[in-house]
Structure 1
Amino acid sequence: MGSVEQNSKGAFNAPPQRVEFHGFLFDMDGTIIDSTPAIIKHWTNIGEEIGVSGDVILKTSHGRRSIDVLKILAPEKANWDYVRGMEALLPKLYGDDAVEIPGARSLLKSLIKENAPWTIVTSGTEPLVEGWLGVLGLPQPKHLVTAESVINGKPDPACYVMGLEKLGLQDLAKEVLVLEDSPAGIKSGKDAGCKVIGVVTSHTLEQVAAAEPDWIVKDLSSVKVVGYENGVTTLEISDAYVPAASRT
């Protein structure tokens, strides 16, 4: 998990800020759930199968589609039947190794209560997403954008462009919030034209900041719904990161 310690470069102490959005696009792993221990076990096992060190795979796998990782390391395995099958096993084998990101459940419940448009845009396959949501008892969105949905995965913006289309908000990208943890995902959301909030869960603060999200928070406990009217959701973002140069 990424480091979120306060340091000489800044602090997580921005005053609460209220912002309005028409819809929300959530990444899955690292944003809604943390399945890091399961992922480590998974890629260690796959690494043994394909003859590549799990550590080598893990250095570049987070936030990227498994099929894209395998295209480089084991092209013969880079097909959807194999990838969907291996990812379907993850929640079944390692269900106890995943937890929800703080604040994720309450934020999703608040959005659902207000009938605010939201969906999940992830580099995982459909069996993986549905498996984890089931294991953790988290809500299932009406729509999903998964690894199989697009030709090119993150950091390509295609997945978030599709997410906007699923919500019928393709003409309001600047008024849609992407919630992400990985630099690749942050770039994907920004290039799709959305506002992006980066959570420091799977990568270091420096890595998240380098991707230039609009806000940086430790986790989703800093993001709360405080109003909903005429299709517009008002969020309050608290304790966001303030770089040292911006502090007074």
Structure 2
Amino acid sequence: MPHHEENNFSAPPAVEEFAALLFDMDGTIIDSTPAIVKYWMAMGKEIGVPGETILETSHGRRSIDVLGLLAPQLATWEYVCKAEGQIPVNYGNDATEVPGSRSLLEKLEAAGAPWAIVTSGTKPLVTGWLDVMKLAHPKYLVTAEEVKKGKPDPACYRLGAKRIGFNDGSGKVQGEPEDGKKADPSQFLVLEDAPAGVMAGKAAGYKVVALATTHAIPKLIEAGADWVVRDMRSVTLQQWDAKAGNIIIEIKDALVA
């Protein structure tokens, strides 16, 4: 993870209310960078493209979109799901938790607060990592193969909100009903590490906490993050008010603008 000695993470704590939390996976809940590097290096050999070239633009993007540009013949969901499903199997020891992520997910789950994972990975990849890392499985999950366009398109996060049961006023998402509890877009909190994901959350009108775990802070700021923090230890559940439908979150030690 990046070093942050030159950055000032000392903003006063902010207490905010949200209707639901929407998490990215890699770089946000876990850091599987070494595993993904090995995956793309091996893929590069298979398709005849230097792995280093792929890694320059692959983080936060769907494999099918990367392959669509570099090896269109392999850009099928059958191939991608099979390939990604082997990553936790082959490289299970090459991932670590993002500090604070396990605690936050366990507290949300224990409280019964609504949360989802919205990721550029496929379902076999995500569930594989959750199993290997023994992390809480969300009741609601949006994966790469379920949306036509990946991040920075906001459709994935809007689908996450609708899947939980909310209508954020953005209109119907393919495959999901229009009805649902009404909620203003600003009532959803996205937790991301990649500029493309930050842009997706902001394009949906949601609030975004960016974790400076994988990308340069100026890029996260440029993407529009509302808060930038070092890792998930800065985001804590204060209370879940089931009657009011409010998740009260404290965000501490954020970057001072």
TM-score normalised by length of structure 2: 0.91
Q: Confirm or deny that 1:203 pairs with 2:200.
A: no
AA of the residue aligned to 1:6: E
Highest RCO, 1 vs 2 (Cα 8 Å, sep ≥ 6) = 1
| Matches of 1:202 and 1:37, distance apart in 2 | 12
**3-state SS of paired residue (1:6):** coil
What residue is the counterpart of 1:125 in the other structure? 122
Deviation at 1:233, TM superposition (A): 1.1
Q: Which amino acid aligns with 1:179?
A: L
Is the Cα contact below 8 Å between 1:14 and 1:242 reproduced in 2?
yes
- Aligned partner of residue 242 in structure 1, secondary structure: coil
Partner of 1:6: 6
Describe how 1:1-248 pairs up with structure 2 within 5 A: 1-7=1-7, 11-171=8-168, 172=183, 173-229=185-241, 230-243=244-257
Once the two structures are TM-superposed, the CA of residue 169 in structure 1 deviates from its matched residue by: 2.0
- 2:213, 2:5 → 1: CA distance? 12
Aligned residues: 240
Q: In structure 1, what is the Cα distance between the partners aligned to 2:143 and 2:6?
A: 34
Query: How far apart are residue 204 of structure 1 and its match?
Result: 1.1
Identity of aligned residues (%): 55
Runs of 4 or more, structure 1, over 6 Å off, are none
Helix, strand or coil at the partner of 2:56: helix
Q: Aligned-pair distance for 1:138? A: 0.4
Asked if 2 retains the 8 angstrom alpha-carbon contact of 1:3 and 1:203, the reply is: no
Question: How far apart, CA to CA, are the structure 2 residues paired with 1:218 and 1:144?
Answer: 25
- Summarize deviations over 1:41-80 as a string: whole Å, max 9, x none: 0100000000000100000000000000000000111001
Q: 1:5: how far off?
A: 2.9
Letter in 2 for 1:63: G
**Corresponding residue number in structure 1 for 2:173:** none
- Identify the residue that residue 246 of structure 1 maps to in structure 2: none
Report the CA distance between 1:3 and its aligned residue.
4.1
Provide the C-alpha distance between the structure 1 equivalents of 2:2 and 2:205, rounded to a whole number of angstroms: 26
Distance 1:160 1:5 in 2: 32
Q: Secondary structure at the match of 2:67?
A: helix
**Mind listing any 5+ residue stretches in structure 1 that lack a counterpart?**
244-248
Question: For residues 131-188 of structure 1, what are the alpha-carbon distances to aligned partners after superposition, in whole Å with 9 as ceiling and x for unaligned?
Answer: 0000000011112100000000000011011001011122322101000000000000
